[in-house]
Amino acid sequence: MATIASLEVADPPAAWADLGFAVDGDVCPIDGIAYVLGAAGKGVVAWAVDGITGDVEGLPAGRRIDAAPDPGHANGVVALDHLVISTPNLGRTIERFEEAGLELRRTRDAGRIHQAFFKAGDVILEVIGPPQPSGDGPARFFGLAWTVADLDATAAYLGDRLHPAKDAVQKGRRIATLDKNAGSTVAHAFMSA
């Protein structure tokens, strides 16, 4: 089974430390995944997935870094719940993911956006795109949705950098998104367990 080993992120280490992540040098280990900070670009820029070699659907293969033990994080993050990927052509991206060995688990029609869900180890890959293809461009990493130990404690820690929590699509869970001006080039969402 494909498993995410590491993600390369264009944020400087200080930005993640300011958001309450425990960072050692330029690496932030969270639940077995190494987040390598300081990459060129914006947002999540590359991934290393055990079980997949090379780029997939325009998503660049990055360096594989082993994660150190998770030291715990002041913001309450315990794991990556899902990695969100956007595409202008959902059908094509589903085909490419399946060709790479990822199993489509389900799809969801959410109106203007359709979603396809895959698993990479314990992480959900949520691929979002329009109902009909809207271009020939590649898929892109869009954001990170974290599971936290206590969403109210995370909200208290992040203060006004976190938008108010609301009910998540997943029944019984709540979600809050990080403000775009909070110092990260990544779209972050924090979810209750």
Check which CATH number belongs to the domain holding 133 and give it. Answer: 3.10.180.10
Beta strands in the chain (DSSP E): 3-9, 27-30, 33-37, 44-50, 77-86, 104-110, 113-120, 123-129, 140-148, 166-167, 174-177, 187-191
Question: By the 8 A CB rule, do 15 and 183 touch?
Answer: yes
With a pLDDT cut of 70, the percent of the chain lying above it is: 100
Q: How confident is the model at residue 169 (pLDDT cuts 50, 70, 90)?
A: confident
Which residue, 35, 33, 29, is CA-closest to 11? 35
> Is 174 in a helix, a strand, or coil?
strand
Which tens digit of pLDDT belongs to each residue from 97-119? 999 999 999 999 988 999 999 99
pTM of the entire predicted model: 0.95
Q: Who contacts 126 (Cβ-Cβ below 8 Å, separation ≥6)?
A: 82, 83, 84, 85, 115, 116, 117, 145
Give the structural domain span for 62: 3-191
Which tens digit of pLDDT belongs to each residue from 1-40? 899 999 999 999 999 999 999 999 999 999 999 999 999 9
What is the total count of domains within the chain?
1
pLDDT of residue 111: 87
* Cα–Cα distance, 60 to 80 (Å, whole number): 19
Which tens digit of pLDDT belongs to each residue from 142-166? 999 999 999 999 999 999 999 999 9
